Each structure stands twice: as C-alpha cells, then as structure tokens.
Structure 1
Amino acid sequence: MQSENRLFDDLAKLVNGAAGTLAGVGREAQSGARERAREWIGGLDFVSRDEFEAVKAMAVAARDEADALRARLDALEARQNG
C-alpha cells in the first residue's frame, strides 16, 4: 500500500513538473512572438497613438487659425469694397 502511494506521489510530481515546464515554454514562445510582432510592426513606419493625437491637435489648431484668418480677410475685403 505504501509503495502504491509513493508511486502516485512520484507520478504527481512528474506530471506537475512537466506542466510547469510546458507553461514556461508557452510563456517563452508568447514572449518571442510578441517581440517578433513588435519588430515587424516597427518596420512598417506606424506612428504611436500619442504621436497621432499630437498631429491631430496641430491640424485642428491650424484649421481654426485658417478659419479665423479667412474671416478677417473677408471682413477687410467687405470694408474695402463697401
């Protein structure tokens, strides 16, 4: 009976060790795949979200300024012609 329990204990340790090893291999593969994806995406000249938002804000500001200048020009032309 004692040898049977020891056999089960050894088998449980073996399975537990194998599961831990497989989990480690899985984490390592996932990490490697993420790194390769970052390298691939990095080579495609994508911009970060922060860079995109900064350029978007600059475009909005430039558009607002152009609208204000257009309104001033229209007012000056109306005053000159009227």
Structure 2
Amino acid sequence: MQTDNRLLDDLSRVATGAFSALTGVREEIESRMREQFEKILSRMDVVAREEFDAVQTMAARARAEQEALAARVAALESQLAALAGAAGKPEPAARKPAATRAKKASGES
C-alpha cells in the first residue's frame, strides 16, 4: 500500500514538473513569437495602436480648431462687408438753399 502511495506521489511530482516545464516553454514560445511579429511589423512600417490613437486625437483637435477659425473668418468677413457697404455710400453733405447763395452773391445780407 505504501508502494502505491509512493508511486502516486512520484507520478504527481513528475506531472507537476512536466506541467511547470511546459508552462515555461509556452511562455518562451509566446515571447519569441511576439518578437518575430514585432520585427515583421516594423519592416512593414505599420504603426502601433498608441501612435495611431495619438495622431487621430491630434487630427480631431486640428479639425475642430480649423472649423472654429473658419467660423471666425466668416464673421470677420461679414463685418468687413458691412463696414465697406457703409463707407461706400457716403451721406451727402448738407447744402445751403439756393436762395441764400444768391443773396450772398448779390451782396445782400
């Protein structure tokens, strides 16, 4: 009976050792595969997700700023057009009545 227990204990130890060895091998394979994928992707000039997200955020900010500036330019252009319209039509100067000018020309006061 003790021999059975010893045999089971030995089998358990061997299985545990094999499992831990296989876990180490699995981790090593994953690490090497990851390295190979990174090498392949770097040769293909593929950007990382973090870089892509950063550029996408910068582009969204630039687009929002461009839209705000376009609205500001449109408002300034409309103000300029209003000012140019007002300056383009000068109000006529007040003229003296013709009779007053005639009296001054003849010397009457």
Same fold (TM over 0.5): yes
In the alignment, the residues of structure 1 paired with residue 82 and residue 41 of structure 2 have an alpha-carbon distance, to the nearest angstrom, of: 53
Map 1:1-82; keep pairs closer than 5 Å. 1-42=1-42, 43-45=45-47, 47-82=51-86
The structure that has the greater radius of gyration is: 2
Gaps of 5+ in 2: 87-109
Change (3 A) 1:57 1:30: same
In the alignment, the residues of structure 2 paired with residue 36 and residue 6 of structure 1 have an alpha-carbon distance, to the nearest angstrom, of: 45
In the alignment, the residues of structure 2 paired with residue 40 and residue 53 of structure 1 have an alpha-carbon distance, to the nearest angstrom, of: 27
In the alignment, the residues of structure 1 paired with residue 65 and residue 21 of structure 2 have an alpha-carbon distance, to the nearest angstrom, of: 55
TM-score, normalized by length of structure 2?
Answer: 0.59
Task: Answer with 39-48 or 68-77: which moved more.
Answer: 39-48
In the alignment, the residues of structure 2 paired with residue 60 and residue 39 of structure 1 have an alpha-carbon distance, to the nearest angstrom, of: 37
Superposed displacement of residue 8, structure 1: 0.9
Gaps of 5+ in 1: none
Change (3 A) 1:40 1:65: farther
Give the aligned partner of residue 91 of structure 2.
Answer: none
Which one has the bigger helix percentage?
1
Alignment size in residue pairs:
82
Q: Which has the higher contact order (CA 8 A, sep 6+)?
A: 2
Helix, strand or coil at the partner of 1:48 = helix
Change (3 A) 1:66 1:39: farther
TM-score, normalized by length of structure 1?
Answer: 0.73
Taking only the aligned residue pairs, the percentage that are identical comes to 26
